Each structure stands twice: as structure tokens, then as C-alpha cells.
């Protein structure tokens, strides 16, 4: 099985998307842990008998920072799928279906925070 450049680019775009989500999640957990430590330190200074248990995931994990980027990325991904299956375009254009698809996946990764 040989990988073509289109497959390599799509795999790289999807990996970038998932690595960005992991990075955002790790930053959020780190921030929540620091807030919990500060809150527990403040409670201990007041001689609190019980330590508040707080879930790191009480809030939504990710939020969409720009709906326009997300909508545009979905349209671009759909355009890539349309290009690959449509007979309206020539063979040269149809062979480049992976460019808008990878670009859309790349854009989706920047619509989350």
C-alpha cells in the first residue's frame, strides 16, 4: 500500500486537528487544577474542615469561538466532497479534491477554544 500525497496531506490535517484539541484540553485541565489548588489553599487558610471536590469538566470542554469559520470550513469540506464525486469538473480538478477537504479540516481546528 503506497500513500499518495493527497492521503498524506489529509492525514496531516486530521492529526493537526486532533493535536490541537488535545492541546486545548490539556491547557483547560491545567488551568482548572491551578484554580482548585488556589481554592483549596484559601480554604485551608480559613481552617475549612472539608475540601471542596470539583470536577474539572463541569463546564463544556470546548467552545466555538467563531461560527463563521466553522460554517465556512464545513462548506469547504463539502465542496471537496462534491468535487471528488461530480462529473461537472475535469479530471485535473477532480484529482485535487483533497485540497479543499484538508483546508476545511485545518480551518475547523481554529474554530474551537
The 10s digit of each residue's pLDDT in 68-77 is 999 999 999 9
Whether the per-residue pLDDT at 79 is higher than 90: the answer is yes
pLDDT digits (tens, 9 = 90+) for 22-41: 998 888 888 878 887 887 77
DSSP strands (E only) in the chain: none
How far from 41 is each of 4, 29, 35, 44, 102, CA to CA, in Å?
55, 18, 10, 5, 46
Tell me which H or E stretch contains 15.
Answer: helix 5-45
pTM attached to this predicted model: 0.74
> From start to end of 22-71, where are the E strands?
none
Q: Band the pLDDT of 101: cuts 50, 70, 90.
A: very high
> How many whole angstroms separate alpha carbon 10 and alpha carbon 96?
12
What pLDDT is recorded for position 60?
Answer: 56
24 CB-contact burial (10 Å; exposed 0-12 / middle 13-18 / buried 19+): middle
Helix (H, G, I), strand (E, B) or coil at 101: helix
Amino acid at each position: 500500500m503506497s500513500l499518495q500525497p493527497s492521503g498524506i496531506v489529509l492525514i496531516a490535517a486530521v492529526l493537526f486537528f486532533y493535536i490541537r484539541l488535545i492541546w486545548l484540553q490539556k491547557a483547560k485541565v491545567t488551568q482548572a487544577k491551578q484554580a482548585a489548588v488556589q481554592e483549596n489553599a484559601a480554604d485551608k487558610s480559613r481552617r475549612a474542615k472539608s475540601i471542596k471536590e470539583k470536577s474539572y469538566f463541569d463546564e463544556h470542554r470546548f467552545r466555538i469561538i467563531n461560527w463563521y469559520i466553522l460554517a465556512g470550513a464545513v462548506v469547504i469540506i463539502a465542496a471537496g466532497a462534491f468535487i471528488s464525486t461530480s462529473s461537472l469538473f475535469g479530471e485535473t480538478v477532480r484529482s485535487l479534491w483533497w485540497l479543499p477537504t484538508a483546508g476545511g479540516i485545518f480551518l475547523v481546528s481554529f474554530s474551537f477554544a
